[in-house]
Amino acid sequence: MYVPDSDELEAFHERVRALDDQLEKLSGAEVTRAEIITELSAVSKQWLKMSTALGETGICDLDTLQKTDNTVKGILQSTITRARASAYRKKLALLLDPFIESIIVPVIKYEGSPIQVAARQVRETFSAHILVDEEAYLEEAGRCITVRCYRAAIIMLWAAAISRFHRSIENLGFAAYNAAYTTTLAKTGNPFNRVSKGATISSLPELQRIRDFDILVVGMELWKYDLQAYEELDRLLGTRNTYAHPGMAAPTILDVQQFASKIDSFVFSIVKI
């Protein structure tokens, strides 16, 4: 989800101030220069996009956002009619004067809150390894953290891990998975004797029905990680299952961060695409 950060908002503020400086030089003359009118329209549209995102997060006061939106819509309307520089400057003043205190400062506080820092850290954990289709799960995990839905965050992180396993199996080919699965079935003892029987696959829908546990065990043969890595993955799956079902378990931010770190170490760093 797009949310403008404080750097973007400060750059926008400077952009509007520079535009105001150009208008000041025109005094009370009618604005006819195409580049100024184009810039007025551009900053207006940029603000309305940012405002929508800020309104959805609840970071800034909604009444303030609404008043600012009304001012900016007035500026945008003026660009398709005729207006003097002084009229534009009066409207820009309504945008500029409260902008730092009412918009930028709340965003800076929001960015510096422990919960936001934790959400960023979780997303950054995977920055070196993540693929586009996995990013959606991680972004959702980050949003879950920001609203203190830590159980949901852990579930989304595991979904990202399974997405990586599935993508790798698709790339290696179903025949390669089936060969590793057959080799796994031939082994004795725990955990090999717990793998589902008759679970070869030939399509993505069939892969998506394979138990996560089976993939982890077959993974020792397919991706060549050792029993210790499997055991760690099995514990992560158990953690995911604990939080995905009704119960008293209540993870903390630290639990989510540790879960994310282990997912990165035992899935994304090992299962390459």
Measure the CA angle with vertex 162, ends 161 and 165; round to 5°.
95
In contact, 137 and 122? CB cutoff 8 Å: no
Tell me how far apart the terminal alpha carbons of the chain are, to the nearest angstrom: 25
List, run by run, the mean pLDDT of 10-residue segments along the chain (273 residues): 84 95 93 95 95 87 93 94 93 94 88 78 75 85 86 95 95 97 96 95 95 97 96 97 90 91 92 85
How far is the C-alpha of 83 from the C-alpha of 77, rounded, in Å? Answer: 10
pLDDT tens digits for range 105-133: 988 888 777 777 788 788 777 766 678 88
Cα→Cα distances 251→32, 155, 158, Å: 60, 12, 15
Same domain (yes/no): 71, 58: yes
Nearest CA-CA partner of 89 in 31, 17, 22, 23: 23
What is the pLDDT, as a whole number, of residue 132? 80
What is the pLDDT, as a whole number, of residue 213? 97
Specify if 1 maps to a domain: no
Specify if 182 maps to a domain: yes
Same domain (yes/no): 168, 50: no
Same domain (yes/no): 135, 222: yes
Same domain (yes/no): 39, 164: no
How far is the C-alpha of 193 from the C-alpha of 201, rounded, in Å? Answer: 19
In DSSP terms, 64 is beta-bridged to: none
Mean pLDDT of the chain: 92
At which of 60, 81, 112 does a domain end? Answer: 112
Same domain (yes/no): 91, 126: no
At which of 65, 80, 112 does a domain end? Answer: 112
SS3 84: strand
Nearest CA-CA partner of 219 in 271, 261, 157: 271
Specify if 273 maps to a domain: no
What is the pLDDT, as a whole number, of residue 117? 79
Q: Which domain holds residue 174?
A: 114-268
Same domain (yes/no): 197, 62: no
Global pTM reads 0.65
Same domain (yes/no): 18, 63: yes
Domain count, the chain: 2
Same domain (yes/no): 222, 256: yes
What is the pLDDT, as a whole number, of residue 70? 95
Same domain (yes/no): 178, 227: yes
In contact, 162 and 263? CB cutoff 8 Å: no
Same domain (yes/no): 195, 247: yes
In DSSP terms, 84 is beta-bridged to: 30
At which of 62, 84, 112 does a domain end? Answer: 112
Measure the CA angle with vertex 141, ends 127 and 234; round to 5°.
85
Same domain (yes/no): 164, 235: yes
How far is the C-alpha of 24 from the C-alpha of 110, rounded, in Å? Answer: 34
pLDDT tens digits for range 190-224: 999 999 999 999 999 999 999 999 999 999 999 99
Same domain (yes/no): 95, 200: no
